[in-house]
Amino acid sequence: MNKIKETAEKILGRKLEASEGVDIQSLEVAEKKLNVKFPQTLKDFYLNVGRISLFTDAFEFFAKPKQIYIKSNKLVFLEENQAVLSWGIDLEDLGKDVVPVYHSPNIGDPEGEVIWYAEALPLPEFLVLIMFYQAASADSDIQAKTEGGYSLSYIGYKSDLESAEIWSKFEKELADKWEKVVDGNGLVIHWCKYGLLLYYSVQDLDSDVDDLIYLSTRKDYDLSDFKNKFGFQKLD
C-alpha cells in the first residue's frame, strides 16, 4: 500500500497526476551523491507529490531531492517554516523496517554540537501528519493553485464554545461525522469529504493562538450548517 498516494488523494479528493511527482532519476542522482538509499516512504513522497506545493512547502519546507543533505549522521530532508527546527533520519536506520524521525533545533551548529530529539511517530506516520498539517495550514494562494485545495478559511474559538457550553456537542459532531487523522504533539486534525479542521489540544497560556480552531473548505457552502452552528467566521 502506498500510504503517501492514498493520503494525498484523500486530502485532494481526486486522483494524482504522474506529473505531480518528481522523476525517479532525480532521487537516484541524490542517492548517488550522498551514497545512501532513501527509505521507500520518503521516495514515495517525492515520487507522488514532490511537485505539489500544498504538500512540499505550504508551511514547512521539504528539500528538493538535490538539496537533501547529511549532517551529524542524519539525512536531513525537512525544515520548519522559520528555520527553527530541521528533521532527519539517522543513517543507521535507513535499512530498518521501522525508521524513526528526529528533529534538531540547532542544525547550523558544528557537527559535534547538533542535538537531536526523537519524534513520537516513525517516518510513514510522520509524513502523513505533515501532509495533513500542510494542507490545513497553507495560505489561500497555494490552496487556490492546487486542484482540490481548500481555498476558503474560517476560524472559531475553543473558549467561545466552552463559554457557551457547546464544546462537548462540537466534539461529538466531530466524532460522529469527521475522521480524526492527526492527534499528536498537541495537534489535532479532523478530515471529512468537504473540509479540514485543525486545533491545538494543549493550551499555551502565553498565547491566544492555541485557542483558535481553523476550518478550511473548498466552497463557501461546504459545511455551512456546521459553520453556523459553532460560530465560525470567514477569514478574508
116-144 confidence digits (pLDDT tens): 999 999 999 999 999 999 999 999 999 99
What pLDDT is recorded for position 210? 83
pLDDT band at 186 (very low <50, low <70, confident <90, very high): confident
Residues 150 and 216 sit within 8 Å (Cβ to Cβ): yes
**Domain residues of the chain, as ranges?**
3-128, 150-234
| Residues ≥6 apart with Cβ < 8 Å to 193 | 13
Please count the other Cβ atoms lying within 10 Å of the Cβ belonging to residue 187.
16
* Residue pLDDT, tens place only, 201-214: 876 545 556 899 99
What kind of fold does domain 3-128 have according to CATH? SMI1/KNR4-like (3.40.1580)
Residue 36 pairs with which residues in a beta bridge? none
Evaluate whether 123 touches 42 at the Cβ level (below 8 Å). Answer: yes
Question: How far apart are alpha carbons 88 and 4 in whole angstroms?
Answer: 18
What is the chain's length?
A: 236
pTM of the model: 0.93
